[in-house]
């Protein structure tokens, strides 16, 4: 966990049990389910969590592709920072893990009252989004290239 988040969690005005809780998650346990409404964000304290989606392939056929693994220090569920939000993916424990679950509304109020910590926190969230977007763009490019190769696109380009 980075210093900014550690400082927030250790602040006596951001009370454990009210603003945040520490949770133990067993391997294969679902922590967040895609489509559910969430009000909290999470920080991985230890262990590995897996982010998956859900794709319908047809009648009674679907897959749950893995998007990424989250390790110690990873923050996820940031869309719930200011308001309840639909969960965009399922997150389950790949190993026994410990997470900190933070009430988004309480964190938002705390950050408004502590603008320097708020700036540092939002800066880190922004950097995380940029990194995730870059990785997603690379994956889309690779999938497009794979699809073009599979469908022998060269014969159409001549």
pLDDT tens-digit map of 16-26: 999 999 999 99
Q: What is the pLDDT of residue 158?
A: 59
CB 90: neighbour CB atoms within 10 A? Answer: 19
CATH fourth-level superfamily of 3-113: Jelly Rolls (2.60.120.10)
DSSP 8-state class, residue 102: E
* Helices and strands (DSSP H and E) totals, the chain: 4, 12
Q: What is the pLDDT of residue 156?
A: 60
pLDDT at 48 over 80: yes
pLDDT digit string, tens, across residues 114-127: 999 999 999 999 99
Helices (H), 32-114: 104-113
Q: What is the pLDDT of residue 104?
A: 95
Taking the model in full, what pTM does it have?
0.82
Q: Which percentage of the chain shows pLDDT scores above 90?
A: 63
Three-class DSSP category at 104: helix
More confident residue, 38 or 156: 38
For residue 42, give the nearest of 30, 31, 55 by alpha carbon: 31
Would you list the domain boundaries of the chain? 3-113
């Amino acid at each position: 966990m980075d210093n900014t988040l550690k400082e927030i969690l250790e602040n006596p005005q951001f009370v454990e049990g009210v603003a945040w809780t520490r949770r133990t998650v067993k391997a294969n346990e679902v922590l967040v389910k895609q489509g559910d409404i969430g009000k909290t964000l999470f920080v991985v304290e230890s262990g590995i969590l897996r982010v998956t989606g859900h794709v319908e392939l047809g009648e009674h056929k679907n897959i749950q592709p893995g998007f990424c693994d989250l390790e110690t220090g990873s923050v996820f569920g940031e869309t719930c920072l200011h308001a309840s939000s639909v969960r965009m993916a399922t997150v389950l424990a790949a190993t026994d893990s410990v997470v900190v679950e933070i009430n988004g509304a309480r964190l938002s109020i705390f950050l408004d009252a502590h603008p320097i910590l708020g700036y540092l926190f939002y800066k880190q969230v922004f950097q995380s989004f940029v990194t995730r977007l870059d990785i997603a763009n690379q994956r889309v490019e690779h999938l497009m290239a794979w699809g073009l190769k599979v469908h022998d696109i060269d014969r159409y380009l001549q």
